[in-house]
Structure 1
Amino acid sequence: MTVHDLWSGLSKGEIAERRQAGRDRWQRRWRDGVGRGAPQRKQSYKEHLKAQAYLDDANQMQNPKAQRIRRESLTVNTLLDRHLAAKADRAPKTVEADMHHAQGVRDQFGDRSVSTIDTTEIEIWSQRRDLARSSRKKQLEMLRAAIKRGVRDGLVESDPSDGIVVSLGHQEFPHWSSAELMAVIASAASERERALLSVLGLMGLRAGEARSLVVGDLVDGQLRVKNSGGDSDTTKTRASRRVLPVPAVVLPLLEQQAGARPRSAWMFESPRLPGHAVGKRYLSDAVTRAVSRANQSRSEPISRINVHGLRHTFAAIALSEAHSDLLSVSRAMGHARPSVTLDRYGHLAPAGLAPLMAQIDRIAAGTQN
C-alpha cells in the first residue's frame, strides 16, 4: 500500500483553491492480491478523513510500513481537530479562545505534515515580532498540546516543539494597596456597590463570577462560585468552580444583599432592570464613583483602575501583604493551574528564605514548650 499527496508541489494559492472547492487531497493505492498482475485499487480522502483511514489500515494490516506512512502523512490540522474535539466540553468562551489560537497555528503549519516540521522552524515562528508575546505563547501552547496528544496516541513519533518557550517578561498589573482598596470600598455609593467591590477586591472573583452570583450561593458563611457569566452555566475552567470562606468584613454585606429573597434571585440585582443581574457597565461605573468619592478627602489621589484590577489587587494584597502561599491564592482565584498564578504574580510573593526559616523556628519553639 502507498499513500500519495495529490496536492504535492502546488503553490499556496492552488492549494487554497482546491480546499475551497472541497477536492480530495490524499489517495491510497493498493493491489487486490499478490504480484504485479493483481488489479490496482485507489481511494481518495478529504483531509479530515485521512488520519482515521491510515489508522484503520495500520490496525487491520499490522503493517509497519502502513504505520510509518500514517505518521509521515499526518498534518497539523488533523492534530488540532482531534485536540479541540477532546476539549469541546469546556466553557464557551474558553472554546472560542482555543479556536482563535488554533487558527494562528493553522495559518502557519495547518497543511504541513508534522514529520516535516523541525524545532528550529517552530522556534523562529514563536519569536516573530508581528504578534504580541501573550498571543504567540498561546499559539505555541496550542501547537504543543495538539502534538503531545498525537504522541500519546501513537500518531506522532516525537514533539518538535519540546523545550521552546515564549517568555512574557515581567508584567506589572495595576492594583491598589489594602489601604487604598478599603478607602474605595468605604466610599462606595451604595450598599450594593460596597458589597460588589468587596467581593471583587477582598475575595478575588472575576467580574462575571460576581455578577452571576445568586442568593443561594451564600451558605453558612461560604460563597459558591459556579458561573462565569459568559453566557453559560459554568465557570471559565473546572478549577474556577470553588467554595470560598467569606471574610468577616464581607459577610454582613452579602447577608444584607441576600436578605429574605428567594435562593434563585440574583445576589446583585440591577437597580434599573428588576429580575436581572447588574451589567458590566454597572461595575465599571461603581468603581469610578467610589474612586471619585474617596479622592475628595485625600491629598494623594487614588489612581483609577479597571474592574479586573480589583482581582489583581486581591492577588497583590494576599501575596505581598498577607504573605499567603501561591497555592492558596491560586485556589482562591480559581486559576486552572498554580503555574498561572506564579507567572502573573510570583514577583509579589515573599522573597528569600528568611520568612520560611523564621516560621520553622516558631513551630519548633512551640513544640518544645
Structure 2
Amino acid sequence: MSTHKLKGLKGNGYQARWTDPAGSRRAKNFKTKAEAQRYEAEMTTAVRRGEYSDPQAGKAKLSSVYENWKASSVGLKPKTKASYDSLWTCMVQPVWGNRSISGISRSAVKTWISESKSITGKTVSASRMKQGYVLLKLLLDHAVDMNLINRNPIQSGSRSGKNLLPRIEVQKQKRALEKDELLALANNSGEYRLLILVAGLLGIRWAELVAITPEDFDFKKKTITVSKSLSEISGRFELVTPKSGKARILPLLNILEKNLKAICLATPEGEPIFKSRKGGYLRHSNFMKRVFSPALVKANVRHITFHELRDTAISQAIASGADVIAISRIAGHANPSITLNVYGHLLKDSMGAIQRALDESYADMNSGNPSGNQQLPSAS
C-alpha cells in the first residue's frame, strides 16, 4: 500500500493504492498527493478495523437498497409492510430514492427533516416525519449490512445522529370512560352492546376483538385466550398474531359470562363471534360510522376513539389496585415498562387510594406508643 505519482498515459496526479479484505489490489486517482495519502490511510484503517466497504458500491441507489431490505425483512405483519410502503412512497422515495448511498449526508437529512414535506408538498406532522426518518435509518443500516457503506451517517447514539429529529408534540392525555358512561354507550349500541362491554371491561384491541372465535373461550376455567388479530389492509383481511406477537389469557368476568356463552353457542367454530350484519368480518370504518359514533351521541358521551375503551378497561384495573405486572399481561404489552410509559399518570393518581387502603389496614396498630400492646415487627 502506497501513494504513486502518475506519469505519461496515466495522466497527472497521484494514485492511492490498497488491498481490500479479499486480497485484491485497489486504486483511486487524486489531483494532489495529500488527497491520495489521506484516502489511502482511510482505506487501510477501514480494512484493519473490519469496516471496509467497496467505494464503488456506495454508488448504489437507495431504491435498490429498499427493495433488498423488503425482500429480506421476513416476519413483518401485513399492516407493518403497508405502513413502510406508504412511508417510502410518500416521504422517503421522492427525496432519496434516486440518490446514491454514499451521497446521503447528515446535513442533507437535517434539511429534509426541517422541511417536513410529503410527496404532495404538504407539511407533515412531527410524528409522521419521525416515522420517515426511522425508515431512512433502517435502510442505511441495511446498506451497511450489504457492505455498500462502512457506516450509517445518521446512526443513533453517534454525533452524526444527534439532534436530527423534530420535537414531537405533547400527546393528549388518554380519556377513559366512567362506569356509567360505558354502560350508557353499550346500551345505545344495539346488537353490538356486548362488543362494547368486552372492549371496555377487558381492554381487548379492536383487531383482536373482531378475530375472537368460540374456541378462544374456556368457560370452565373462566378464561379468554387472545391468540390472533385481524389485519385490514386496502379492504383485505388477514389473520395475524397479536401486536405483542404472543398469545395472552384474560379473565372471563361474571358480568359477561352468560351473554358470551350464548353468543359462542350460536356461532360456528372458527367464525368470529362479533360479525357484520352481512355475516362477515367487521370493518373498523363501517362500525365507527354506523354504530359507535351514533351511540356516543345517543348516550350523550363526549367523543372518544374506540381505542379509548381499552384505556377505560386498563384505568379501571389500575383503580382496583391491580399491580403493574398483572395489568401489563392483561393489556398484552411486551413488557411492564410499556404500561408504565403509557399509563404512568394513572398509576401515579392511584397512589392516594393505595395510601388510604394501607392506612385502613394498619389503623389498629399503635406504632407511635411504645407501651401499646401491638408493635410493628422488628427489623432484626
Provide, for residues 154-207 of structure 1, a one-character-per-residue CA deviation record: whole Å limited to 9, x for no partner: 4332222223334322221663333354333552454x5222012222233332
Q: Distance in 1 between matches of 2:379 and 2:70?
A: 56
Provide, for residues 79-134 of structure 1, a one-character-per-residue CA deviation record: whole Å limited to 9, x for no partner: 32222222254232221111111221121122223333222322232232521112
Match of residue 177 from structure 1: 177
Report if the CA contact (8 A) 2:211-2:229 is conserved: yes
Match of residue 262 from structure 1: 268
233 and 256 in structure 1: CA distance in 2 versus 1, 3 angstrom threshold: same
83 and 249 in structure 1: CA distance in 2 versus 1, 3 angstrom threshold: farther
Match of residue 286 from structure 1: 291
Unaligned regions of 5+ residues in structure 2, if any?
A: 1-7, 10-19, 27-42, 45-51, 117-122, 157-161, 362-375
1:96 aligns with 2:89: no
Report if the CA contact (8 A) 1:174-1:305 is conserved: no
152 and 314 in structure 1: CA distance in 2 versus 1, 3 angstrom threshold: farther
Report if the CA contact (8 A) 2:244-2:334 is conserved: yes
Report if the CA contact (8 A) 1:209-1:229 is conserved: no
Q: Which amino acid aligns with 1:276?
A: G
Report if the CA contact (8 A) 2:79-2:231 is conserved: no
Matches within 5 A, 1:271-282: 272-273=277-278, 275-280=279-284, 281-282=286-287
In the superposition, the TM-score normalised over structure 1's length comes to 0.65
Q: CA deviation at 1:288?
A: 4.1
Pick the aligned partner of 2:95 from 101, 108, 117.
108
Report if the CA contact (8 A) 1:223-1:246 is conserved: no
Report if the CA contact (8 A) 1:74-1:113 is conserved: yes
Pick the aligned partner of 1:128 from 88, 97, 115.
115
- Aligned pair count reads 303
Report if the CA contact (8 A) 2:272-2:281 is conserved: yes
Match of residue 228 from structure 1: 230
1:81 aligns with 2:67: yes
306 and 117 in structure 1: CA distance in 2 versus 1, 3 angstrom threshold: same
Q: Distance in 2 between matches of 1:79 and 1:331?
A: 38
- CA RMSD between the two structures: 4.2
Q: Distance in 2 between matches of 1:324 and 1:148?
A: 41
Q: Distance in 1 between matches of 2:69 and 2:146?
A: 11
Q: Distance in 2 between matches of 1:113 and 1:98?
A: 20
Q: CA deviation at 1:329?
A: 5.2
Match of residue 35 from structure 2: none
Q: Which amino acid aligns with 2:77?
A: A
239 and 115 in structure 1: CA distance in 2 versus 1, 3 angstrom threshold: same
Match of residue 156 from structure 1: 149
In the superposition, the TM-score normalised over structure 2's length comes to 0.63
| 2:225 counterpart SS class | strand
1:146 aligns with 2:166: no
Report if the CA contact (8 A) 1:175-1:305 is conserved: yes
Single out whichever of 321-330 and 126-135 deviates more from structure 2: 321-330
Q: Which amino acid aligns with 1:210?
A: L
Unaligned regions of 5+ residues in structure 1, if any?
A: 1-35, 38-56, 295-300
Report if the CA contact (8 A) 1:222-1:245 is conserved: yes
Identity of aligned residues (%): 21
